[in-house]
Structure 1
C-alpha cells in the first residue's frame, strides 16, 4: 500500500495563512435536494402525525408497524437488555455512566442552582433555575450503534432534573441493538421509540398522537437530521448543528509517534470529512508520525475512510515553537484538542478555544468519547470560539427574580421613568411614577 499523502505545512512559509484558511474550510452549504426533502417530511409529519411517521419508518427503515405505539420500546425491554449484553459490556456501560453522571452532578453544583439576594433597601433580586419539562434525544442507528451517545445526552438531562426524557433511534430492518437499549436503561430514559430521520425530529418538535412534543432536541445525526433540527429550531430548542468531527494535537515530540498517529486515526475513521491536524515545532517528529501513519494504517479495518480523511483534510504542521502552536490552535478552535506534551499544564493557560482539552500523553481523545466523564457532544467547525460542550445547563432554563420593596420603588422609579420618557414610552414611565410617594 502506498504511503498516506498527508499535507505538510510550515508556519515559516509565505503562504501559510492562506493554506491554513483553506485547510479549515468546510462547506456547510445546504444540499438543495436534502433541504427540500426534509421540508416535505416535516410538513407531512406536522399535518398527518402518526400516519406520516409510520409511512416514513416503513420506507426508510423497512419496519412495518400497525401503529406508532408498536414502535415504542417498553421500559421492561430496556432493562431486560442489560441481561442481553455481555458481562464485560454491562460493567463498562455502568462504569462510564457513573463517571458521566458524577461529572455532570459537579456541573450542577457549580452553575445549575438558583440564587437570590436582597439589596440595602430590601429589594429581592436573583435567578431561578428550573429544568425543561421534556426533552428529546436523537441517537444515530444506521451504520453503527452508539450507546455512548445515549449516555452523553440522557445523563445530563437526568441530572438537570428533566422529568421526561424521550429517546428516538432508527432501527433499520427492525434490529434493536441491546447495548443501546441497555444504555437507555442505565441513563434513565423514560420513553423510547424506534423512529429515526427527519420524521423523528418532526415528531419530537410538533408532537403526534403517540410521540409527545418536547421542548428541546439534542443528539447527532446525518444530513437529514441536521437539516430537520435547523428547520424546527424556534419551535423547539436544539443543542447545535454539528459539522464533521475534528482533532488537533499539540505535540512537543515527547509522546511516542505511534500514539499520536493512532489519535489522528481516531477522528479520521469517523468519515471522510473528519479532520485530523498535528502541530509540532520538531520537523523530525513530524517525519516520525508520518512513518507511523504509513506503518499502522494497513491494519486498520476502516483504513480507506482514514486515508481519505487524512489526505483530504488532514495536516502535519511545523511551527516555530509551542507558543505559536497554541496561537494557531486558538485560530482553529478545534472540537477535540490534545496537548501531548511533557508539561501540558504549561500550555493549557494559553489555550482559549476548544470544545474539550485533553492534557498529557496518556489522555487520549477516545477516553473522553466514552468514559472520562465530561460530555462528548462538542462544538465543531470553529464554533468553540463562542459555544460550549453539551451539559446540565442545556437542559435548564433561567428565570430572573425581581421583588422590589416599597423603599426600592422610590429609588428605582425615577430612574425607570426618566429612561422611559426618553424612549417615548409614557405608560412605562407612569407605571413607575404611580408607585412613588408624594
Structure 2
C-alpha cells in the first residue's frame, strides 16, 4: 500500500479527494455497454437473455424461470451451519429493518383540517444478487428482508446461471431465497437482469417491477442508471470501500485484517487507513504485506491494495482525520479510537459507522442486523444505505371540512391571483357560491 503524507498541509475538500482517487474508469466505460444490453432485452426479451447467457455466463438451454423444485433441492442440501447462520441473519435484519418503518402521523393544521403522513410500500420489487466472484447469499437477506418488512407484496429475484451448476443459480443463493419464501426466481445475470426486471419479459412470465435493488459489478451499476426513470433503484453501488480512522493505541493486526477483508471483494476495492500516528502507519503496512501474501484471494487483494484507490494517509491530528473522512464519505467507516463511542458523532458522512475495534465491517456484512447494501463513491454525503424506507413512498393524505376550507379561502385566491392562475382560486370560490343559471337555449 502507498503511504500519503498530508501532514503540515491545509487542504480543501477537492484536494483531499484527489489524494486518494477512486477507481472510476472501468465504470465509466461500462455505461455504453450496459445500456445496449438493457435495450436489447427490452426489444428482444427472452431471445436476448439466452444469447447473453451464452456469451457472458457460458450457459445455454437452462431454465430461466427457476422451477420451485430447484429451490427446494437447494434448501434441502444447504450446509446446516450455513442455514443456521442465514436464519440468524434474517432474524437480526428483520429487527434492524423494523425500526426503519415510520408510523403514520396525523398533523392537525386547525379545526377540521388535517394531514395524515403515511408510508406506502411499492407494489413489486426486483432483487439482483451477483454470483460471480462471490455467491452473495447474505445479500439475498439484506435486500429481501427490508422489502418484506416494508410490506412489499411481490418480490422477484434474479441471479446469474452458473456453468458449473448446469445453468442453475448458485445453490446457497437459492437456499436463502427459499428460507425467505421467495419463489419467483430467474437465472439471469448482469445488466440483462436489470433490463429484464425493469421492462419485464412476457415469454418467461416476468412482469416489470417498481424498484430494483441489489449489488453488482460496474455493468450492473450502469444498467441501473440506464433504467432510472423507468423504475426506482437503490443506488449505483460501485466497488466496496473501507476507511479506518485509528489512533496510536490501535491494534495494527486488526486494522490490516479489516483492510484485507474488503480488498478481497474486488480488484477495484478501496482500502484506506487514516491516522495521525506514523508509527502505527508503519506497523500496519508490515501487517498488511504479511497477511495479504497468505490470504486465499491474495492476487485480487494485492491488486486492490496496490491500486491508487488504496492508501495509508498520515494527517496531523484528529480534526484532520475527521475532515478527511467526511470529505471522502466512505461506504464503510471503522473507528479504531480509544474514545470511539464519543468520537462517532463527529463522523457524519459514511454509509455505516463501525464503532470500536470489536465491530469489524465483516460483522455488518453478515450478522450485525444492519444492512450491508451501502452507498459508495462518495454518495454517503447525500444518500443512505438500503433499508425498508427504500421500498416505501411517503404520501400525504389531506382532509379539510367546509369551515376549514373557508379559513384558507382568501389565501388560496390571493396566491392564485399573484401567480396569474385564476382558475385555482375559482375552484375554491365555487364551493361558496351558487352555480350560475344555465343560459337560455337559442330561439326559446
| Pairing 1:117-156 to 2, within 5 Å after superposition | 117-156=107-146
5+ residue gaps, structure 1, are none
Which of 376, 389, 396 is equivalent to 1:393? Answer: 389
Q: Distance in 1 between matches of 2:339 and 2:161?
A: 46
Q: Is the 8 A contact 2:113 2:399 kept in 1?
A: yes
- Deviations 1:33-56 (Å, cap 9, x if unpaired)? 644433333233222222322332
Other structure's SS at 1:221 match: coil
Q: Distance in 1 between matches of 2:385 and 2:32?
A: 30
Q: Return the offset for 1:19.
A: 5.8
Q: Return the offset for 1:421.
A: 1.0
Q: Distance in 1 between matches of 2:282 and 2:422?
A: 72
State the match for 2:425 in structure 1: 429
Q: Return the offset for 1:310.
A: 1.9
Q: Distance in 1 between matches of 2:9 and 2:115?
A: 56
Which of 1, 4, 7 is equivalent to 1:8? Answer: 4
Report the RMSD for the aligned CA atoms in angstroms.
Answer: 2.1
Q: Return the offset for 1:73.
A: 2.0
Q: Is the 8 A contact 2:41 2:195 kept in 1?
A: yes
| Aligned: 1:74 with 2:64 | no
Other structure's SS at 1:379 match: coil
**1:33/1:300 Cα in 2 relative to 1: closer, same or farther (>3 Å)?**
closer
| Aligned: 1:272 with 2:267 | yes
TM-score (norm 2): 0.91
| Aligned: 1:176 with 2:169 | yes
- Deviations 1:177-211 (Å, cap 9, x if unpaired)? 22111111223324101111222111111112121
Other structure's SS at 1:72 match: coil
**1:331/1:272 Cα in 2 relative to 1: closer, same or farther (>3 Å)?**
same
State the match for 1:39 in structure 2: 35
- Deviations 1:251-297 (Å, cap 9, x if unpaired)? 12323210001111112222222111111222111111112112222
Other structure's SS at 2:172 match: helix
**1:435/1:29 Cα in 2 relative to 1: closer, same or farther (>3 Å)?**
farther
Other structure's SS at 1:345 match: helix
Which of 135, 153, 177 is equivalent to 1:163? Answer: 153
Other structure's SS at 1:264 match: helix
Q: Is the 8 A contact 2:23 2:268 kept in 1?
A: no
5+ residue gaps, structure 2, are 435-444
Q: Distance in 2 between matches of 1:390 and 1:15?
A: 32
- Deviations 1:357-416 (Å, cap 9, x if unpaired)? 001110011100111011101111111110001000011112211111111111212111
| Aligned: 1:362 with 2:358 | yes
Q: Distance in 2 between matches of 1:346 and 1:198?
A: 43
| Pairing 1:54-133 to 2, within 5 Å after superposition | 54-65=50-61, 70-108=63-101, 111=102, 113-133=103-123
Q: Distance in 1 between matches of 2:412 and 2:357?
A: 57
| Aligned: 1:201 with 2:194 | yes
Q: Is the 8 A contact 2:349 2:380 kept in 1?
A: yes
Q: Is the 8 A contact 1:250 1:339 kept in 2?
A: yes
Q: Distance in 2 between matches of 1:257 and 1:286?
A: 8
**1:95/1:124 Cα in 2 relative to 1: closer, same or farther (>3 Å)?**
same
Q: Return the offset for 1:344.
A: 0.9
Q: Distance in 2 between matches of 1:30 and 1:259?
A: 31
Other structure's SS at 2:110 match: coil
Q: Is the 8 A contact 2:221 2:238 kept in 1?
A: no
State the match for 2:244 in structure 1: 249
